[in-house]
Every structure is written in C-alpha cells, then in structure tokens.
Amino acid sequence: MLLKNRKLVVATNNKHKLREIEEILNGFEIIPAKEVLKEFNPEENGRSFCENAFIKAKALKEHTEFPVLADDSGLEVFALGGEPGVFSSRYSEDGSDEANLKKLLLNLKGINNRKARFVCCMVLVFGDRVIKKEGFVYGSITEKPRGKSGFGYDPVFVPDGYDKTFAEMGEKEKNSISHRRRALELIKGELEAIYG
C-alpha cells in the first residue's frame, strides 16, 4: 500500500517530542495531535509502554485518514523492580519533573546498584496495520541532578559510555543517542516502505 501524501499525525503536543520527531523523520509532514483534535488526552491505562502508545494511536486514528504515530516512554530502574516504568510522568503525587526526581532519588537512597534504562515504544497505525518498535538507552542514575538541558529524568541519567547526564549534553547530543531516536529510526524504515 503506497501513500502519495507524506503526512503523519503524531499523538502528542509536547514540543520537545515534536521537534525530535521532525528532525529524525525529515521528509515527512508532521501534524501534531491538536490539529486533529482540540482535546486529546486518552486514558493511558496500559501495563506497558507499547500498550499505552497503542491506546494513543488508536484514539487519534479514529479522527484522521492519515497514518498516526504515537509513543510512550519512560525510565526503568532495575533495583526498584522497573520503577517508575509506565508511571514515569506521574511517579510523584503532583507529577512535576522536580517531584518525580526527588521521589526517585529518595527511593534509591543507600542502593549501590543504580543501573537503569530509558525505554521508548513507537506505534504506527495506518489502515488496519499496527507496527511497534522499541528503542533503549542503558545507563545509571546519579546521586543528584546535574545539568540544565532536557526534561523529565534527564538530569539524573548518565548513559553508558558517557560521563555526563542527558541534561548536561544539550539537545543535539542527547537526541543523537536517545531511546526515542532509536525507536524512530526503526519506524522510519517502515514509513519509507509504506510511502514508497
């Protein structure tokens, strides 16, 4: 099935994500969710990143003829049994980046194994096809936040092979190795095959 129009609706209004997606999927016209639906806030009650991404993609696909791309991503800390996991953005009571970081560091107090990974699951829905791809970045959690760039858990995550956190890297360097990029690169190959 080849499509003439290289338009892609993305199930997010997050400007950081949209910028990263536009950069990696250059050659495609990226349409944010708000241009299709004024209010887009489906309940993400899946038990995995891929389930949540599919919930978002399916909800938006009902309102557009174009293929829909959705992602769900977060942090898994091995010593905490994979927490915060799918609750990454709402880990703390108020769900702010600052409160989430504070809770994570408190829960890791006195724990030596600080290994973790960022996970991103991308789901592409077009016609009756559903394609899922995952990207991972492995690393470890610092004792305290470092750096001013990025968002979420970026100030406490040092990827393997680096000595600085995602928040110390700056957007360009971080995006070149991010979990979202890795999942998007896999999706890009699928999109090229669809669009021809």
3-class SS letters over the chain: CCCCCCEEEECCCCHHHHHHHHHHCCCCEEEEHHHCCCCCCCCCCCCCHHHHHHHHHHHHHCCCCCCEEEEEEEEEEHHHCCEEHHHHHHCCCCCCHHHHHHHHHHHCCCCCCCEEEEEEEEEEEECCEEEEEEEEEEEEECCCCCCCCCCCCHHHEEECCCCCCHHHHCHHHHHHHCHHHHHHHHHHHHHHHHHC
| Catalytic annotation present for 72 | yes
Q: Which of 71, 72, 154, 163 is catalytic?
A: 72
Which residues belong to the active site?
72
